[in-house]
Amino acid sequence: MKTTRTITALLILVGLCAGIHAASRRETRHDRIRKKMKAMSHLKYNFFAPSVHISYKHPDPKAKYLAYYNEIRIEKTVKHTYFCTIGFDVGYFGVQDHGSGHLAIFSVWDKGGGKNRSSDVDQADRTKVLFTNSKAKSSRFGGEGSGAKTMMPYAWKVGKVYKFMVLLTPLEKGTIYTAWVAEKGKAWEKIASYQTVMTKKEIRGFYSFLEDYARNGETGQKPRLAFYPDHGAMTTTGKWQRIVNGSGSIADDVIQNGHSGVMNNTFYSQSGADTADYKTKPRKFSITPPKTKFKVDPLPKDFEPKKK
């Protein structure tokens, strides 16, 4: 009994120490932001745009899902912006307004999220590249955990709708993640396929976000705005379900001029410049679905989910 109480006390102490450490890191980061804001006080708007997110609620909390589908229509963009269209528990997929041009990028983390120095991860724990589009380049990444990424030149345009899909294929040992992208109404392009060490039976944690990754002063002076017209998830039985509920969040930063919500019955995210502050907008929101059933038509030719 005494041993049990001791272990419980130690676990509580470890939790408290972790919480204190996280709070300390957050305050250190906030201090850096405040100092930078002071140094850039001559700017009209904040020196960067905060990252804003939408978390999409699974239609059926009891179901397990193998694929996510989302669409994006970018209306306002700024150089050095990442428009993540499909985020999930071990990776993310979207397009960038990159310094070298427009591109698509698909990333999946190593086992356990990896390490900030990708070279520190054992070969056995690394995400393996199984397929790379002939127009793309796959490589390792670090700095925010580690994993594999594929970057492909992709001439997306403001005002057009693009569709994205990620499929999980469970294995006896490990998991395969495959991603496709296309302008709506055109043929799918597979960008990459990876195999992770972790064995997973379902895909989880569907989200999207906008990120100003340069944060150089100039990037905060103009807004970025993206709409997500249609979205769904496919169960392990092969049934597609439309997503209608979401919630918005903002990165834990001092700067708050960013938010997500619903406009004209469409999910959207906006940040930077004169964007209204996060605190002025609702945290949870919903769309009114059309009467037609959700479906992805056509599916990619090599879309082969393992059904129950």
> 147 and 209: one domain?
yes
> 105 and 18: one domain?
no
How crowded is residue 200: how many other Cβ atoms within 10 Å of its Cβ? 16
Residue holding tokens 């955990």?
145
Mean pLDDT confidence for 196-217: 97
> 63 and 153: one domain?
yes
Tens digits of residue pLDDT in 42-85: 999 999 999 999 999 999 999 999 999 999 999 999 999 999 99
Phi, psi dihedrals of residue 150, rounded to the nearest 5°:
-130, 125
Mean pLDDT confidence for 24-28: 82
Tens digits of residue pLDDT in 85-134: 999 999 999 999 999 999 999 999 999 999 999 999 999 999 999 999 99
In the chain, the number of structural domains is 2
> 25 and 82: one domain?
no
> 160 and 128: one domain?
yes
> 3 and 115: one domain?
no
pTM over 0.75, yes/no: yes
- Rounded CA-CA distance 249/13 in Å is 29
Structure tokens at 192: 């990459």
Contacts of 307 (CB under 8 A, 6+ apart): 236, 237, 238
Domain assignment of residue 26, given as a range: 1-39
Tens digits of residue pLDDT in 143-174: 999 999 999 999 999 999 999 999 999 999 99
Q: Please tell me the predicted confidence (pLDDT) of residue 299.
A: 96
Cα end-to-end distance, the chain, whole Å: 45
